[in-house]
Structure 1
Amino acid sequence: MMGISGEFSFLDMVNSATRGKTGVSTKDYTEIWLSPYEVKEAPKNTRQEYKNIDALADAFLLVGQEQPTVLARVNGEYRIVDGHRRNRANILLIERGNEQFNKVRYFYKDMTENMYELSLLAGNGFTQDLTSYEKTELAGRLKKVLEKMRETEEIEIKGTIRDIIGNYIGEKPTQMARIEKINNGLKGEAKEQFREGNMGISAAYETAKLPEEEQKKIAEKVASQEGIKAKEIAALVKERKEAEKQNKKAEEFAKQAEKSLKEARKSEIGAAQASLHAERAAENADQSAGMIIGMNPPIMSDSDTVENGEQTPEEIKQETIFTLQQLLIQAGKITYNELLVLQDILMNCNNRGE
């Protein structure tokens, strides 16, 4: 596993002593002679255009090519890591009839897709004076590949990825935050205007804060004769934020009003339910009172008794019912011994019925 520290180090891929000459150390690379047509340019290189190829070709023809192009062999395919302009100059010389350039000297190393991308970006960062757009793209691509390589455990990263990239491309944390905002937020036509150099990094940063539809309007102004400055875009962003703030307050007020209305309705329902409970309690009280009144023992006349002075069976039944009703009311006060007596009575009644 390759280590990458937060204090600016790409280890095997980058040699700080070569800054200004080549972004890639050729240590552990193998020398090989190939046709310039056999090697492929990076599918997406940070540098958007290649200038002064004619002059470079003339220099090669005059003094030779001192610095070989550096390649990565990825899945058997030779891809340029560092030296796109040099390889184009070689091809131009072949097209002009200079057969000695049919085979030229290269250095190559086997790499994974991720390692190739990282090596390519490392070379771009060292050897070129990048535009604001190109530096922003470089930072975005570095972030993606470093995150991938951390996930696949191809490298071990010490420190934050943002700080590593910031140290590498020479930008402070505040500027790195702006670059990240541009990479994450700038869309469509606005991004194209930034790429073309018609929009500076400050304007791009402010535009990235707006929705895509509004970014399109900004891009149209940038492309037109009117133009628009970063300060004007910042004012638009501020105005929009203030409008969003007011809308948010209005939404919160509406939610609070709705909540209050629900609570008021809940209180009304609670009051209605309480009133209903009270009415039912009163009705139950009246019914209980009537029951108790109805439970008074029947008044026995002298004619209801038998000759020996004992009560008739009907009289005993009525008094038993009354007594049991009273016991139900006092059930919570009955002791265990009294319960046993009642159970004996019940058993005797059951036996007597058989």
Structure 2
Amino acid sequence: MYDIKKKPAVLLLEDGTSFFGVSIGKQGTSGGEICFNTGLTGYQEIYTDPSYYGQIIVNTTSHIGNYGVVSDETESSSVKIKGLVVKTFSEIYSRKTADSSLQDYLDNAGVVGIAEIDTRKLVRHIREKGAMNAIISSEILDLENLKEELDKIPSMDGLELSSKVTTSKVVEQISDNEEFKVAVLDLGIKTNILRNFKQRNCSYRVYPANTPFEEMQKWQPDGYFISNGPGDPASTAYAVETVKQILDQNIPLFGICMGHQMLGLAAGISTYKMHHGHRGLNHPVKNLLTGKCEITSQNHGFSVSAEDIAKSENVEATHINLNDDTVEGIRIKNKNAFSVQYHPESSPGPHDSRYLFDDFIEMIKLSKNSIPA
């Protein structure tokens, strides 16, 4: 049986703060930007979310691993996180339907982690000091030597990562009851987004991140979807150009997370790196068009500029975060285009926002009906 108590590990932050604990996952050394997720469940979906590529995840929930892992509870084809930090790690699991323990899952995926540290203290530190790089090691316990390895890790600010997680080829799913065709630009898409399209009788084609607009348009889709993804949105210029061309043709467009930022940039709205981002399942967002509040699932470290939106004649804010008033949704005036910063497909999280997929379908219907026969 795996015995985490016998294997020491260390977590070192960019500002010199360190935590000593015990090793989980694979033995080794790994680093990236450290961030925390406040979700009480859904750890497997979080670890396989491509938007977390290049990041070390801190789970704020006290116990992690107690319900094991299941093969179909993934948001991509592999684990995407660079490291894991938890307080209490369970190598045993109680769920009868689980395929394996989280320890075996992380070890097989090559994920280096650390447990038995004060995650509350760590999260308070990140909230105060902001996002920064960090490194976990169970093989280099000397902090000076580990600092040398940490210095080699690039900053997330200015980093283009969608090309690292996008599909390598076009993937097609034809609906038996096809009503519409949706072209998906994959910047790091989650599986449950595609399931939401399938549930609405949409056929879809998933295209690599750098696919030109002209290539996607050959399929004659009824609408375009721009997905979530990792890295600095301002460094994903190729996708911004694609979105601009879609807007020029006024084909219905829906963006989520990175796709939201791509739409903003295409419309002249700048993006910025947040102090420590939004990551969790309970973020309150107000829909400014309906006046209703929804509890949302979120995962992002960048945001669109509220100041730029306020000055824009073409972009309107549709949703705001009730914790900090950051912009969570926009629409382009006189265009068939809208986006949200959060994750309406949830997985994990509440389903308050899944109406947005229906709004997109309705936009497609109205657009098709307005085209002269």
TM-score range, shorter chain: under 0.3
**Given the two structures, how large is their TM-score scaled by the length of structure 2?**
0.23
Greater C-alpha Rg: 1
Bigger share in helix: 1
